[in-house]
Amino acid sequence: MTTRTYLDHAATTPVLPAAIEAVAAQLALVGNPSSLHASGRATRRVVEESRELIAELLGARPSEVIFTSGGTEADNLAVKGAYALGRLQGRNRVVVSAIEHHAVLDSARWLASASTEGAELVEVGVTPSGVVDLSELAAAIDSRTAIASVMWANNEIGAAQPVARVAELAHRVGALAHSDAVQAVGHLPVDFAESGLDLMTVTGHKLGGPVGVGALLARREVGLAPQLHGGGQERDVRSGTLDAAGVAGFAAALQVAVAHRDAERARLESLRAGLIDAVLAAAPDAVVHGPAESEKRLPGLLNVELPGCTSDALLLLLDAAGIDCSAGSACSAGVSQASYVLLAIGRTEAQARSALRFSLGHTSTVADIGAVARALPEVLARARAFSAATR
C-alpha cells in the first residue's frame, strides 16, 4: 500500500494509541451503564470516571458534561435547547457569527424558517482576518436574544474568537452564550469556567479519540429543552444508552492532547511555517487567510488561495500525488461551491473557489511538508493549464 501524506486533520485526526487501548478494553466487557447489576455498575464507573477526567481537563464540573454522539448533536442541542428555554422567557432572537460550523448555522436557520419556532436570526459579520465583529455583535445581542453562539476557533481559516467577550455581551442582557470549541480543544487553552460560557461543544475525533462521541458542557443552572426523548439519561437532557467504550476513548485522547498541547502547538507552528514557505516557493502570488499572529489562530491550520486555478482541480491532482487535504469543512464534502467562510471575510466567488485547507496534526512530520513541496509545482502548473483551457 502506498504511503499517503495526510494533511486533513481538521476533518478528523488518527486515533491515538491511548484511545485505542481504552476503547478496546471496554469493548471486551459487557454492561449497560444504566443497569443496576454488577456489570452495569462497572460500566457506569468507567463512564463517570471518564466524565470526571473530561471535566477536569476542560475546566468544568462533572455534572456539566453531557455526553452526545458528537459535535453536530451537541451544537443542535445547545442552539435549539437554549432557544426553547428562551422562548419561555419571551425571547425569540438567535445571534450567530457568519462563519459558524453548519451544525450551528443550520440549526439557527431552521429555527428561523420553521413556522412553529418563530425565531429571528441575526448572522454577525467578521473582519477580513475572520474574527467576529464585536461592535456588530454587541448591537445584535439585545433583550430579545435567547442565545448567542460564536465558535472558539474557525475550522476553515483557524481564526480564534473572543468567546469571553461574547459571554459578557450575552449575560449583560440575560441571554445564554454558546461556543463550538471542537477545533480549539487540544490546540488552544480551553477552560469552560474561565470563559464565562453557558454552553460549549467538544468532540472526540478531532483530537485523537473515536468518531461518534462528544459532549455538550452546560452549566447546571441552564435548563435546556431536550431534543431527544427516551430514558432520561444525561440530566434528562440527552436520552440514549451511553457508549461507554467511546466515552473512555474520548477521555483518554483528551488527556493526551491537553498534556502535550503546548509542545505540540510549537511543533505544529514550525511545520506550518515550513508549509507556507513551500506554497510561496511554488506560488509567490498565494494568499494566506486568517490572522497572522500565532496566538490568534490554530497552530496547524493553513488556508491558502492559489490564483489561476480551482480548488476542485487542485484537490484531485494532489490526491493523485498521494496528498490528502481539503477545500474547507468536511461536512460540506461532495458539494462544489465557494466556501461561505471565505465569502464572509470578503473574498470573491472566484477567489474562494481557488483556496485549499491544509491541516496538521499529531502524525504530521517534516517529511509531509517535503511531499507537498515536491508535488505542488507540477500540480499548480497542471491546474492552471486546465483552468486556462476551460475558460
**Active-site residue numbers?**
331
Contact yes or no for 358/325 (Cβ under 8 A) = yes
Cβ partners under 8 Å of residue 78, min gap 6: 104, 147, 149, 178, 199, 201, 216, 218, 224
> Cβ neighbours of residue 273 under 8 Å, at least 6 residues apart?
none
Containing 258, the helix (H) or strand (E) segment is helix 244-259
CA 371, CA 374: separation in Å to the nearest integer?
5
CA distance 171 to 187: 27
The Cα–Cα gap between 377 and 300 comes to 22
Of 380, 386, 254, nearest in space to 323 by CA:
380
Sort strands 93-97 and 145-149 into parallel, antiparallel or unpaired.
Answer: parallel
Q: Which residues pair with 289 in a beta bridge?
A: 303
- Count of all residues that appear for the chain in the document: 391
